[in-house]
Structure 1
Amino acid sequence: MSAAGVRTVAFPASLVPELAQHLAEHAEAGRTGLVFVGARGGVLRRNNFRRIWLRALAAAGLDDVHFHDLRLTGNTLAATGGATTRELMHRMGHSSVRAALIYQHLVNDRDHQIAAYVDGQIKKGKRPPRDPSGT
């Protein structure tokens, strides 16, 4: 694991109650305890994860959601919220810009949002007079 893989990342305060409940009921104790554990309290094995994940999706009324989609959604929201390339790299634990640029590419329609915002501001106010020279 690279140095970028070990980091502290802020998350929405609205998730604190759910995270605290999960940690109290399902995780190992302590700062270094596992957040997700197997049925007997040990390391969650890859071959058991799918069954547990599908059960969790069913309980939430969801289907066709991959675990990695959570990362994709969080990073897309961060990019949409205006996170810089460096900030995305930190949040994702990457030491290169390649992955961060992928998430920023997903929000390329931001240019259209900016234009729509400017259009709304123009409509609120008076349009500037046109220069007879066309500039």
Structure 2
Amino acid sequence: MALLKKTTILLLLAIPALALGKLPPPTQAQAQVAADKKAQAAAQADKDKQALLATMDALTARWRSRAATEGWQANAPVAVAAPMPALVQPNTQSSASGQPGGVMGAVAKAAPITSEKNGTAAPSADVKKAPSPPPSTPQKR
């Protein structure tokens, strides 16, 4: 029984050491296979994108042809020259919101600092005027 406990403890102590081990770097052949797979995946993604665009164009053409016979209003298609900048730019922020370069402007510096908590601003309309009365407790007889 003591041998089983010692073996179990040794195994439990060895598991984290095994998890911290490093894998060897990939060989030239493995790196080439990975690059080929990545290129194939990119080509397949481009092919799928083109197929999706063709299907969307066919569906749009079919809907527009039916719109005239069904009496639906069809506006002229809008040409999109390039993707919107918001869709291609990274969503990282380089400075504080609304502050160019992270520096407060003259208007912001001149604005008075008001706070309900500090008493430098009028209380909101939904603020209680007085504390709530304590709940009534039943009297014991």
- Is TM more than 0.5 here? no
Per the normalisation by structure 2, the TM-score is 0.18
> Whose RCO is larger (CA < 8 A, sep 6+)?
1
Per the normalisation by structure 1, the TM-score is 0.19
Bigger fraction of residues in helix: 1
